[in-house]
């Protein structure tokens, strides 16, 4: 049985087996949570991105690299749809969470921290981004025991907590 919780924090501080990164298709770093993860993880994360993803990653897919200097052992990078440029297929957002959980299971991850994918620079409406995150994590069969959705700001954290309380 999965334990899903809400946390308000910088995801790079999380002491978990793996953290999920809201990356882009090029997989060479960026702003938002991606920038924070590359800064905190150090050059080993980018080196691994280049070695393991020479052609980047498709939207809705996920793959792992080392966590470098992060407390987490692995970073699971995923790419959500960019709502603000018209990528509005919700199944791609759901797929980003599903594939992240699948990769986590393959790695034997027991604890995982996940940000609100596509909910920042990519502009996915916050309420629906929270709903997609909670619903998908609760409905995807997984071996990961402890999943925490990490919100950066108080308002997002409150939305996530209320949505988790409401159940699947």
- Sign, CA dihedral 53-56-61-65, equals positive
CA distance linking residue 107 with residue 124, whole number of Å: 29
* Residue 150 beta carbon to ligand AR6: minimum distance, rounded to whole angstroms: 5
* Residue 12 beta carbon to ligand AR6: minimum distance, rounded to whole angstroms: 6
Q: Which is nearer to ligand AR6, 23 or 62 (CB)?
A: 23
CA distance linking residue 37 with residue 19, whole number of Å: 9
CA distance linking residue 37 with residue 59, whole number of Å: 19
CA distance linking residue 74 with residue 11, whole number of Å: 13
Q: Which is nearer to ligand AR6, 45 or 119 (CB)?
A: 119
Query: Which tokens is 25 given?
Result: 């298709």
Query: Which tokens is 2 given?
Result: 């999965």
Note if 34 is an active site residue. yes
* Residue 94 beta carbon to ligand AR6: minimum distance, rounded to whole angstroms: 14
Which of 34, 143, 146, 153 is catalytic? The answer is: 34
Q: Which is nearer to ligand AR6, 118 or 140 (CB)?
A: 118
Binding site for ligand AR6 (CB under 6 A): 10-12, 22-24, 30-34, 36, 80, 115-122, 150, 152, 156
- Catalytic residue positions, numbered: 34
């Amino acid at each position: 049985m999965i334990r899903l919780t809400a946390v308000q924090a910088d995801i790079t501080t999380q002491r978990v087996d793996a953290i999920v990164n809201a990356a882009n298709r090029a997989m060479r770093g960026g702003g938002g949570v991606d920038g924070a993860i590359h800064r905190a993880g150090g050059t080993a994360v980018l080196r691994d991105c280049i070695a393991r993803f020479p052609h980047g990653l498709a939207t809705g897919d996920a793959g792992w690299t080392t966590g470098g200097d992060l407390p987490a052992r692995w970073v699971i990078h995923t790419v959500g749809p960019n709502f603000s440029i018209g990528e509005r297929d919700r199944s791609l957002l759901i797929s980003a969470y599903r594939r992240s959980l699948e990769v986590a299971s393959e790695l034997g991850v027991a604890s995982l921290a996940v940000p609100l994918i596509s909910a920042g620079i990519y502009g996915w409406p916050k309420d629906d981004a929270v709903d997609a995150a909670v619903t998908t994590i609760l409905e995807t069969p997984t071996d990961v025991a402890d999943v925490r959705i990490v919100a950066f700001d108080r308002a997002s954290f409150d939305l996530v907590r209320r949505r988790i309380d409401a159940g699947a």
